[in-house]
Amino acid sequence: MASIDNRPAIQPSIDVLLLLIGSIAGLVVMATVFSGNRSFEEAALGSLTAVHEAQGPQGENTHCQRINEEDQTAFLEFVSKYASTILFLGNSQTHSINQKKEGEAVYPELIQKRLDSIAILTHSMPNANLQEFLVSHAWWTEQINPEMVVVPAFMDDLREDGLRGDFLKSIVSGGYQMETSHPLEVKLNEQLDFLTNPPSEAGSESKEQTPQDISEAALNDWLSEHTSVWRNRANARGDLFLGLYGFRNKLFGINASTQRKMIPARYDRNLKALDLLCTRAGENGQRVLVYIPPIRTDVAPPYDPEEYLNFKRDIESQAQRHDHVVFANLEDIVPGPLWGLKASTDGSGEPELDFMHFQFSGHEILANALIPMLTP
């Protein structure tokens, strides 16, 4: 009688065992190097600067980074208590305090305390570009139609391009599209559609789930319930990207003070986005404040001097094309001692100068400078 080879029969069991061992080992490594407790935004800011999202007089949620359904509901409820609304757009300068102490707040919250008859709402995104501001403004206009919009123009962020669905969650999940025929807005609509319906997921709802789909979903649910590492894996991915970013900077000798050149095509798209935002605001009867935000001036900024001068001229020129837009240059209002340091971006471990985030006193100065321009 021929012998029977049982090896193929036990091979699947060995594969499953190896997969299980590999998964456990991976989770142990992740748990060792990443706690899962801090967000990508907090990791990017480092330990010397803290996130603080503005609140209303009664602790209401009036400030978001990601526009989820909870934020949308809270904003609409808050706005209903006021006759007038101002929408603040911003980047991490808007939601961060260097060397933060108990009880300190960011400038939108300080302004809310002073202008207690107006609802101050804020949508800020790390490294937000003006194309993202354009989409955010269009969507919030349909939700609340604010009387005024405040737009800081950061030269740093004009190097950024396109839309990030992570910070436009309700916009993406709702399949939002701007009503427009302008080429840039049409392109942004295409990006929104791609984020809402990524090719990898097209038609997936109509397919019958396979045993693999069911087992993967069950494993994902179990890991999310029992391990904080897996539950916060998106943040771990952020830490990984930050590590790669630091490695790149170390390799090419880049640090926070390094002058970086502008990317012309991205720069032009962002300038056009600002012009469109101002135009759409005017069509909806909104006033707009566009300003050059504070940057530390006690040392040379990380910009090519000629490019920075041209940038300021371009932003002012865009604003002055519209009668309903006010322009202000606030770049030098926060003195050097009120800025701080940031975690190393070149892998050296040595703290670097922070050109973007200032201490609480800087937020007070910025609030005082903005308030006179916010009332008719």
Q: Tokens 């030098």 map to which residue?
A: 332
69-73, 140-144, 164-168, 336-340 — which one is most confidently predicted on average? 140-144
> The tokens of 296 are what?
């530390």
Question: Is the pLDDT assigned to residue 60 strictly greater than 50?
Answer: yes
Eight-state DSSP code of residue 29: H
pLDDT grade for 366, boundaries at 50, 70 and 90: very high
Q: Look at residue 222 in the predicted model and tell me its pLDDT.
A: 66
> The tokens of 344 are what?
């190393």
Q: Look at residue 288 in the predicted model and tell me its pLDDT.
A: 98
Q: Could you count the other beta carbons within 10 Å of the beta carbon of residue 329?
A: 12
For residues 19 and 371, which has the higher predicted lDDT (pLDDT)? Answer: 371
Closest alpha carbon to 109 in 330, 339, 367: 367
Three-state secondary-structure class, residue 21: helix
Question: Is the pLDDT assigned to residue 299 strictly greater than 50?
Answer: yes
Three-state secondary-structure class, residue 11: helix
How far is residue 62 CA from its own chain's centroid?
A: 16
Question: Is the pLDDT assigned to residue 296 strictly greater than 60?
Answer: yes
Q: Look at residue 245 in the predicted model and tell me its pLDDT.
A: 46
| Interval 231-248: pLDDT, tens | 555 555 555 444 544 554
* Mean pLDDT along residues 118-125: 96
Distance CA 281, CA 292 (A): 19
Q: Rounded to 5 degrees, what are φ and ψ at 148?
A: -150, 150
**Structural domains present in the chain:** 46-198+263-373 (3.40.50.1110)
Sign of CA dihedral 183, 184, 189, 195: positive
Closest alpha carbon to 122 in 113, 109, 138, 134: 109
Question: Is the pLDDT assigned to residue 215 strictly greater than 80?
Answer: no
Closest alpha carbon to 286 in 142, 147, 83, 150: 147
| Interval 218-229: pLDDT, tens | 666 665 566 655
| Interval 239-295: pLDDT, tens | 544 454 455 455 555 555 556 678 899 999 999 999 999 999 999 999 999 999 999
Q: Tokens 């910009």 map to which residue?
A: 303
What does the chain come to in residues?
376
pLDDT grade for 201, boundaries at 50, 70 and 90: very low
Distance CA 106, CA 360 (A): 7
| 133 within 8 A of 67, measured Cβ to Cβ | no
Determine the residue type at 94: T
Q: Look at residue 314 in the predicted model and tell me its pLDDT.
A: 97
Helices 130-143/69-79 angle, 10° precision: 60
pLDDT grade for 70, boundaries at 50, 70 and 90: confident
| Interval 39-49: pLDDT, tens | 555 545 666 88
